[in-house]
Structure 1
Amino acid sequence: MEDRNMAEKTTTVQIVMPQHCNGYAKPRLFGGQIMAWIDVVGAVAARRYTGQAVTTVCIDNLTFLKPAYLNDTVVQEAVVTWTGRTSLEVRVDSMVERLDGSRELINRAYAVFVAIDEEDHPVAIPMFIPETTEEKQEYAAAEERRRIRLQR
């Protein structure tokens, strides 16, 4: 197992359909739906990084900045920000993409996963070694989030 010094982005795209929305006059995307999409894209990023099956430990710092509406295109980008021995944190940014291609951040979430084997036992994963300034800042912030999670 080799340590890694770059986390690859995983991207998904969804069009907000009626079944994803609430019943308001101007239908908005359910918070629970975006949370489900976050869990999936985060898990895919974690699986790609670890080469293992993963299970979700928690999703925290889920911040709804703006709504997405019926027929909006939602783009999600997930990237590994921190690793431990068997666990890793993934940041998921959710954006509305306009028809002109511009994007607006509507949600940012941090999810923690644990890599597991066929018998659901935690397994060791490659260490993430941040290189860029952004990666180093995210890594330091992830360590602080981990400290707070452990206190809870």
Structure 2
Amino acid sequence: MKNDATQKPCSASRSVMTQLIFPSDTNHHGTMFGGKVMDYIDKIAAIASMRHARKPVVTASSDSLDFLAPIRLGEVIELEAYVTWTHKSSMEVVVNVLSENLYTGERRLTVTAFFTFVAVDNEGKASPVPAVVPETAEEIRLHQSAPERYELRIKRKQERQNASKMV
């Protein structure tokens, strides 16, 4: 792990966004468009990455985006993101989306996602980022399992590059 001057806790990147779901956000089923949720997820993950790196970032990968339950018209969604793990210039960010019925107070996890961002310098070249230090049990769990997700990302990228050479 990097020295203390280049480490930051997961909480330093924690970012939260709240949105009320309007008719223009929904499909003919009265549930939120998946693409609209994805837009919000990419934004909040970018904010968390920039808070961690204190540099510009670019989206490198969307490893998983799992829709667990529908988000309904009139509900509020709360997106929470933070950096779970870092490599040299890349950062893995987890995003959880909770929906809330404002009349009943019922809250449920509706979407989870893992994104990877890369910090860049003024020339657009990859730039080093601080290590991340997990503190809570959930942060520790995600941090410990991140190297496996990193290896899967690398493998998936190599497979796609090899497949594109065959076309």
Determine which of 2, 5, 29 is the counterpart of 2:6: 2
1:69 partnered with 2:72 = yes
Conserved? CA contact 1:7–1:49, under 8 Å: no
1:135 partnered with 2:139 = yes
Alpha-carbon distance between aligned partners in 1 of 2:144 and 2:59, rounded to the nearest angstrom: 21
- Structure number with greater Rg is 2
Hey, what does 1:104 align to over in structure 2? 108
Q: What percent of counterpart residues are identical?
A: 35
Q: Secondary structure at the match of 1:151?
A: helix
Q: What letter corresponds to residue 26 of structure 2 in structure 1?
A: C
Scaled by the length of structure 2, the TM-score of the pair is: 0.84
Hey, what does 1:19 align to over in structure 2? 24
Alpha-carbon distance between aligned partners in 2 of 1:16 and 1:5, rounded to the nearest angstrom: 32
Q: Secondary structure at the match of 2:9?
A: coil
Alpha-carbon distance between aligned partners in 1 of 2:145 and 2:100, rounded to the nearest angstrom: 27
Q: Secondary structure at the match of 2:132?
A: coil
Hey, what does 1:85 align to over in structure 2? 88
Determine which of 132, 140, 151 is the counterpart of 1:147: 151
The alignment of Structure 1 onto Structure 2 pairs a total of residues equal to: 150
Alpha-carbon distance between aligned partners in 1 of 2:117 and 2:66, rounded to the nearest angstrom: 19
Structure with greater helix share of residues: 2
Q: Secondary structure at the match of 2:6?
A: coil
Structure 2 residue runs of 5 or longer lacking an equivalent are 157-167
Hey, what does 1:30 align to over in structure 2? 33
RMSD between superposed Cα atoms in Å? 1.4
Any idea what the Cα deviations from partners look like across 1:113-137, whole Å, max 9, x if unmatched? 0001122111111111224432221
Alpha-carbon distance between aligned partners in 2 of 1:43 and 1:102, rounded to the nearest angstrom: 28
Alpha-carbon distance between aligned partners in 1 of 2:16 and 2:152, rounded to the nearest angstrom: 28
Structure 1 residue runs of 5 or longer lacking an equivalent are none
